[in-house]
């Protein structure tokens, strides 16, 4: 199963990615993990990425694309993968299509987690993060994991969330139309419990698994 997971910030992509990757026994590949691995190992791509980050700039698509291409050569993707955070725009989606075409292993599906912006703002603005273990929680005064103090991150404030959603609509949402035109898009509601959403996603993906 070769999957891409898309959806706005707050849709629960990270959580669902873990459950779906476990269900299909495929690696969960996030761009954040790829960046960290390359930076830690000091790879040539990691050095290039760091130069952008040190200047406070977004890492260039060309560098991100090469990191993803390299990651997809690893042995653990032989039976599939779940990409989370890539592609972020149509240009990256076209690059991914070309990478997979070289391997004659096209995507099976693109799973979109759909949720109203108002619910996202409510969900994220009620989130608190532990100062000690960084575990996010909702509606708590103390971390349920370690008992540490919690606080609201700047990017979990309502006005910041609204701007993040605007950026998503401008930059990332067009890939939904791209994958719809490719016949790969499967959309599921991201409302309800984590378990309900996971079962909903697995049921929707059963047509391609």
Per-residue pLDDT of 42-71, as tens digits, reads 999 989 888 887 787 778 899 999 999 999
**Which is the catalytic residue, given 2, 71, 127, 128?**
127
pLDDT of residue 54: 79
Topology, domain 2-27+74-115+168-205: Rossmann fold (3.40.50)
**For 30, phi and psi rounded to 5 degrees?**
-110, 150
Residue 103 appears among annotated catalytic residues:
no
Say whether pLDDT at 10 is over 90: no
The string of DSSP letters for 18-44 reads HHHHHHHT--EEEHHHHHHHHHHHT-H
Q: Which of 78-82, 138-142, 191-195 has the lowest mean pLDDT?
A: 138-142
pLDDT of residue 195: 95
pLDDT of residue 209: 62
**Which is the catalytic residue, given 50, 69, 88, 97?**
88
CB atoms within 10 A of CB 41: 9
Residue 55 appears among annotated catalytic residues:
no
pLDDT of residue 107: 96
pTM for the structure as a whole: 0.82
Residue 164 appears among annotated catalytic residues:
yes
**Which is the catalytic residue, given 2, 123, 128, 164?**
164
Residue 13 appears among annotated catalytic residues:
yes
Averaged confidence pLDDT in the chain: 91
Domain positions in the chain are 2-27+74-115+168-205
Per-residue pLDDT of 97-115, as tens digits, reads 999 999 889 999 999 999 9
List Cβ<8 Å contacts ≥24 apart for 125-131. Answer: 125/152, 125/156, 125/157, 125/158, 125/161, 127/152, 127/153, 127/156, 128/152, 128/156, 129/153, 129/156
Per-residue pLDDT of 17-28, as tens digits, reads 999 999 999 999
Percent of the chain residues topping a pLDDT of 70: 100
């Amino acid at each position: 199963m070769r999957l891409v997971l898309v959806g706005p910030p707050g849709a629960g992509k990270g959580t669902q990615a873990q459950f779906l990757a476990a269900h299909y026994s495929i690696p969960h590949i996030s761009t954040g993990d790829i960046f960290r691995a390359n930076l830690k190992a000091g790879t040539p791509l990691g050095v290039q990425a760091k130069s952008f980050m040190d200047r406070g700039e977004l890492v260039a698509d060309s560098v991100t694309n090469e990191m993803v291409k390299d990651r997809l050569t690893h042995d653990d993707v032989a039976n599939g993968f779940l990409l989370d955070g890539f592609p972020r725009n149509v240009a990256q989606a076209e690059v991914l299509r070309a990478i997979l075409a070289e391997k004659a292993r096209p995507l099976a599906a693109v799973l979109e987690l759909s949720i109203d912006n108002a619910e996202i703002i409510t969900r994220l603005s009620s989130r608190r993060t532990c100062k000690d273990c960084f575990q996010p929680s909702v509606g708590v005064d103390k971390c349920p994991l370690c008992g540490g103090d919690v606080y609201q991150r700047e990017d979990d404030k309502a006005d910041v969330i609204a701007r993040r959603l605007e950026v998503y609509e401008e930059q990332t949402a067009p890939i939904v139309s791209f994958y719809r035109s490719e016949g790969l898009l499967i959309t599921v509601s991201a409302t309800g419990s984590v378990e309900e959403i996971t079962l909903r996603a697995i049921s929707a993906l059963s047509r391609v698994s």
